[in-house]
């Protein structure tokens, strides 16, 4: 519950900041332009999901079960980042991630919000600051239903179903990871 209220509070603060920026520059807000900053597929969580596909185990009848088939997606998480210019030196950074899903994992869609501002300490230099916050985008691994013959069927971590761990103990090792949610960039550029 704490994580959700923390995200709400961060979102509320960011929304207040964006509203303040727009209120401070009402005439300019009508002339805002939006530009693409970046479009890319994949993320560190996509790579992590793919790495879960390494390995496999042998069934009692000798058949090999590869993890690879469970951790592949038809669509890799795509991220689109945009910049809406509010003034000559201030803009709103925003974007989204589409998410992705394989048979045994899911990466949630995400939303990115933030701002960028810059000042010019001298005619040939620029100091810029940007802050972004990402909401969503969590990687969650799904369990399997494993049949242990005379011992019954259990919900287990697919990758650890053939391990020495008790079936219910394997569930502790399901991946549940959040993306990097906040980024702060400070950049100083001098042209000669």
Cα four-point dihedral sign 80, 36, 10, 23:
negative
Q: Take residue 146 and report the two structure tokens written for it.
A: 């494993």
Question: pTM to 2 decimals?
Answer: 0.75
Split at pLDDT 50, 70, 90, the class of 63 is confident
110-128 pLDDT, tens digit each: 999 999 999 999 989 999 9
Alpha carbons 184 and 83: distance in angstroms, whole number: 16
Residues 6+ away with beta carbon under 8 Å from 18: 92, 113, 115
140-161 pLDDT, tens digit each: 999 988 887 788 888 999 898 8
Alpha carbons 67 and 162: distance in angstroms, whole number: 12
Alpha carbons 114 and 4: distance in angstroms, whole number: 19
pLDDT of residue 32: 77
Residues 6+ away with beta carbon under 8 Å from 26: none
Distances 191 to 78, 89, 124, 125, 126 between C-alpha atoms, Å: 34, 17, 5, 6, 9
């Amino acid at each position: 519950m704490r994580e959700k209220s923390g995200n709400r509070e961060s979102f509320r603060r960011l929304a207040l900041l964006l509203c303040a920026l727009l209120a401070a520059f009402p005439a300019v807000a009508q002339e805002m332009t939006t530009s693409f900053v970046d479009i890319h597929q994949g993320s560190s969580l996509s790579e992590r999901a793919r790495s879960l596909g390494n390995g496999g185990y042998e069934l009692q009848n000798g058949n090999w079960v590869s993890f690879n088939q469970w951790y592949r997606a038809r669509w890799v998480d795509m991220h689109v980042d945009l910049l809406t210019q509010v003034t000559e030196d201030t803009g709103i950074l925003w974007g989204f991630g589409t998410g992705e899903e394989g048979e045994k994992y899911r990466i949630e869609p995400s939303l990115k919000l933030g701002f960028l501002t810059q000042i010019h300490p001298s005619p040939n230099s620029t100091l810029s600051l940007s802050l972004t916050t990402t909401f969503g985008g969590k990687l969650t691994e799904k369990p399997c239903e494993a049949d242990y013959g005379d011992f019954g069927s259990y919900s287990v971590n697919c990758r650890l179903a053939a391990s020495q761990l008790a079936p219910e103990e394997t569930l502790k090792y399901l991946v549940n990871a959040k993306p990097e949610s906040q980024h702060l960039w400070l950049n100083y550029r001098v042209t000669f």
